[in-house]
Amino acid sequence: MTAADEVQVRVREQVAWVTINRPQRMNALATATFARLVEVSLALDRDPAVRVAVYTGAGERAFSAGVDLKELDTAGSILHPMGGPARNLNEVVLEMSKPTIAAINGVAAGGGCELALACDIRVAADTARLGLPEARVGMGANFGSVVLPQLIPRGLALEALYTGDFIDARRACELGLVNRVCPADELTEQVEQLARRIADNAPLSVQRMKAVASKSIGLPISAALRLSVGPNPYDSEDRREGARAFVEKRKPVFQGR
């Protein structure tokens, strides 16, 4: 199986589904899989036909079990995650200009959990579990150590990191780590409906909101309110189309310009 086979991409009605297709290895992330996911993510971010990107895993057992430890066992020394010659996957997904959704269909462990954390929205099957067990195998959870304490209370985040314990889907939802939990057999349909609702809105507006929300983290409110980042929806054709459609009592047709 080639790297292209291990990452499947389907685009339909402006929603891209990116599926890690290594179910025999619980969708573990080999070096080639990481590289392919980076390539795919960058391409989708540039593609005007795509308004939302959804990440998921093949099969029912795992979203992704994280770094492929069998491959890692044969590797020599490892560079700092942000110090290699290629872009870091989680950084790329986090910085995508378009909305991203993690459809967590099973276990999301280590690097797989970090990929879910890099997405804007997380929807989990009721069978899913999330964890960062890097301390158990001598790794560092670099991305998770930065992002997880921003998503849930610091003490709970550090407990999860220090112990490597997993959090089930219901508890993750209680903590706000995932947006919603649904029966496993309804996950694809519910995520598709959510993605479609987002894709139907004005893309420049959504992208602007994401840029402001991301870049205002840590800023005083007075400074954050004066940010001018992302596309400008205020002087766009879509803004004029939205107003016309409201007056004419019809659904707007947004073009992303």
Residues classed as catalytic: 114, 134
Q: What is the spatial distance between Cα 8 and Cα 19, in angstroms, rounded to a whole number? A: 5
229 DSSP 8-state letter: -
Tell me phi and psi for residue 238, to 5 degrees. -65, -35
Number of CB atoms found within 10 A of residue 146's CB: 12
Count the alpha carbons within 13 Å of 67 in the hemisphere toward its beta carbon.
Answer: 22
The set of residues, in sequence order, having a beta carbon less than 8 Å from that of 224 and lying 6+ positions away, is 212, 216
- The side-by-side arrangement of strands in the sheet containing 7-12 is 7-12, 15-20, 52-57, 100-104, 121-125, 180-182
Inter-residue contact 143 to 114 (CB < 8 Å): yes
